[in-house]
Amino acid sequence: MLIKNRQDGFNHPVPSDITPRDVYEGRRDMLKLLAGGAAGAVLSSWAARDAMAQTAAPGKLAALVGAKSSVAGAMTTEKVSDYKDATTYNNYYEFGTDKADPAKNAGTLKTRPWTVEVEGLVKKPGKYGIEDLIKLSAQEERIYRLRCVEGWSMVIPWVGYSLAELIKKVEPQGNAKFVEFVTLADPKTMPFVGSRVLDWPYVEGLRMDEAMHPLTLLTFGMYGEVLPNQNGAPVRIVVPWKYGFKSAKSIVKIRFVEKEPGTAWNKAAANEYGFYSNVNPNVDHPRWSQATERRIGDGGGLFAKRRKTEMFNGYEAQVGQLYAGLDLKKNY
């Protein structure tokens, strides 16, 4: 982000363009067949069994299945991105600044035991072991677009529950106006913590009403499995109407505060990355336009036809009213 001088696409190869098929869709088709009673017929051939083995476990991680969400806007019907793209082309600066680095380096991240501390202006602060946090509410599947500030996007089936479920349980005090997410910064397992790329730990934040919005997802899994390390295991936030960097990975503290928290990218370059960071095609990044995006998996590499970026990443009907009266050009 900060250290690149040109827009996404000029610096990186595009692994998606050589990935032949959509593993996740394959698995869903298989599950539909099974639900329809075709299991016997399907499983009678070795080829089908192989397909099942491949597609039922896209990353061969522990299963984490969620019921399809009924939250408005939570289930886009756009084509889901390839699991391989979603797990090998991403940003997790603690493990390096290249899109291929997190998948290469995040194997060192230790996700058990893991504790998330809920603190600050709440009536019921506490420490949650990750297993208890996973069980706190029913897991849902949400299919969200993810729009990176660098100009690429994907569509990912996440598994988790609305952050609001946790917030209601801990009972924020009246003066709690913001929620701050503090993520792990462990120099022993994260090779770039200690580099000066960012001010560690990576911190993000939301206004209370944004944090309470049902689309804000406390996320434990994707593609029917637990999160791979490089995607923010064991718990991250996903805020679909904001640029990707608002969705903090590998959270260790959720803090309720009165003042707007200082956030990692805002501290690094305040003129480029504001606190709100709502996807807004009408506000250019100081070094490039945000009017269009490259959907990873569309094919065509660097010369792929770009799509028009939608206001609030397409979630305007659900979240637009949160910002009524706020100047979105100033509050970018």
Ligand X SMILES: Nc1nc2c(c(=O)[nH]1)N[C@H]1C(S)=C(S)[C@@H](COP(=O)(O)O)O[C@H]1N2
Q: List residues binding ligand X (CB under 6 A).
A: 90-94, 146, 148, 183, 202, 231, 244-245, 247-250
Answer with the entry of ligand X, Mo ion, none that 248 interacts with (C-beta below 5 to 8 A by kind). ligand X
Q: Closer to ligand X by CB, 172 or 314: give it.
A: 314
Q: CA 295 to CA 154: how far, in whole Å?
A: 6
Q: Is 94 annotated as a binding residue?
A: yes
Residue with tokens 């069994």: 49
Closest separation in Å from C-beta 235 to ligand X: 11
- Tokens for 114, please give them: 């893991």
Using CB under 5 A as the criterion, what x/- string covers residues 122-141 for binding Mo ion?
Answer: --------------------
What is the chain's alpha carbon radius of gyration, rounded to the nearest angstrom? 20
Q: Is 242 annotated as a binding residue?
A: no
Q: Closer to Mo ion by CB, 55 or 88: give it.
A: 88
Determine the 3-state secondary structure of 252 from DSSP.
strand
Closest separation in Å from C-beta 13 to Mo ion: 18
Answer with the entry of ligand X, Mo ion, none that 219 interacts with (C-beta below 5 to 8 A by kind). none
Q: Is 11 annotated as a binding residue?
A: no
Answer with the entry of Mo ion, ligand X, none that 234 interacts with (C-beta below 5 to 8 A by kind). none
Q: Is 247 annotated as a binding residue?
A: yes
Q: Closer to ligand X by CB, 94 or 298: give it.
A: 94
Q: Closer to Mo ion by CB, 114 or 245: give it.
A: 245
Contact (CB, 8 A) for 157 and 141: yes
* Exposure string over 104-125, b if 16+ CB within 10 A, otherwise e: ebbeebebeebebebbbbbeee
Among 244, 254, 263, 293, binds Mo ion (CB under 5 A): 244
Regarding 273 and contact with Mo ion (CB under 5 A), the answer is no
Q: CA 220 to CA 227: how far, in whole Å?
A: 6
Contact (CB, 8 A) for 105 and 249: no
Among 148, 163, 227, 239, binds Mo ion (CB under 5 A): 148
- 298, amino acid identity: D
Residue with tokens 């009907």: 317
**Half-sphere exposure at residue 97, Cβ-oriented, CA atoms within 13 angstroms:** 13
Closest separation in Å from C-beta 91 to ligand X: 4
Among 245, 256, 276, 332, binds Mo ion (CB under 5 A): 245
Q: What is the DSSP string of 163-214?
A: HHHHHHHH-B-TT--EEEEEE---TTT-TTBTBSSS-SSPEEEEEHHHHHST
113-117: Cβ within 8 A, 24+ apart: 114/234, 114/235, 114/252, 115/252, 116/235, 116/251, 116/252, 116/253, 116/254, 117/252, 117/253, 117/254
Contact (CB, 8 A) for 179 and 211: yes
Closest separation in Å from C-beta 154 to ligand X: 7
Closest separation in Å from C-beta 245 to Mo ion: 5
Closest separation in Å from C-beta 149 to ligand X: 7
Size of the site for Mo ion (CB under 5 A): 4
Annotated binding-site ranges: 90, 93-94, 148, 183, 231, 236, 247-249
Annotated binding-site ranges for Mo-molybdopterin: 90, 93-94, 148, 183, 231, 236, 247-249
Where on the chain is the footprint of Mo ion (CB under 5 A)?
A: 91, 148, 244-245
